[in-house]
């Protein structure tokens, strides 16, 4: 497999994305562990004691381990995530463990969507989702102004390429 070109200058996403994802991870962890831990405690208290009762705690433990691992992985994911605008396409790079490089040709764009939730508004972050005929790409952690500029720019480039066919 060929090496990915090193001369491409990827623009990074905002560092606040790390804080946003950590808060989101913590909220999700608390909710899921309370639900699954509470269900396990209820089952354990309503049944006769036995060796099998340890099995009802496995989902809660698994969810806890998953979220604790994410605490350490999230900063690497955010550091890797970025995009590069080129003449013919947009490159999106993501993934800390399993790297993903996605090239989105401007002529194949169908939709460009900016999404922002309440916690993202607090950190002035937005997600840009690019939908084509064959794939989807997402750039998370953009400043709101940059996301709207990129949406308008990509839409204009896509329309120009489509009109040129």
5-49 pLDDT per residue, tens: 678 889 999 999 999 999 999 999 999 999 999 999 998 888 888
The sign one gets for the Cα dihedral 100, 10, 123, 16 is positive
- Quote the pTM value: 0.83
Tally of helices (H runs) and strands (E runs) in the chain = 4, 7
Residues 129 and 136 sit within 8 Å (Cβ to Cβ) = yes
154 Cβ contact list (under 8 Å, min separation 6): 90, 106, 109, 112, 130
113/158 Cα distance (integer angstroms): 14
pLDDT tens digits along 56-115: 899 999 999 999 999 999 999 999 999 999 888 899 999 888 888 898 888 888 899 999
CATH topology for the 82-163 domain = PH-domain like (2.30.29)
28 Cβ contact list (under 8 Å, min separation 6): 67
């Amino acid at each position: 497999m060929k090496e990915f070109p090193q001369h491409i200058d990827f623009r990074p996403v905002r560092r606040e994305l790390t804080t946003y994802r950590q808060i989101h991870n913590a909220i999700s962890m608390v909710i899921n562990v309370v639900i699954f831990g509470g269900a396990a405690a209820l089952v354990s208290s309503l049944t006769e004691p036995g060796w099998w009762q340890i099995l009802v705690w496995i989902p809660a433990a698994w969810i806890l381990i998953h979220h604790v691992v994410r605490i350490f992985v999230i900063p690497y994911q955010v550091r890797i995530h970025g995009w590069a605008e080129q003449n013919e396409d947009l490159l999106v790079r993501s993934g800390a463990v399993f790297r993903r490089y996605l090239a989105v040709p401007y002529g194949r764009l169908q939709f460009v969507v900016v999404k922002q939730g309440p916690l993202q508004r607090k950190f002035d972050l937005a997600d840009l989702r690019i939908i084509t005929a064959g794939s989807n790409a997402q750039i998370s952690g953009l400043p709101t102004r940059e996301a709207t500029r990129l949406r308008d720019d990509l839409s204009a480039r896509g329309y120009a390429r489509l009109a040129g066919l």
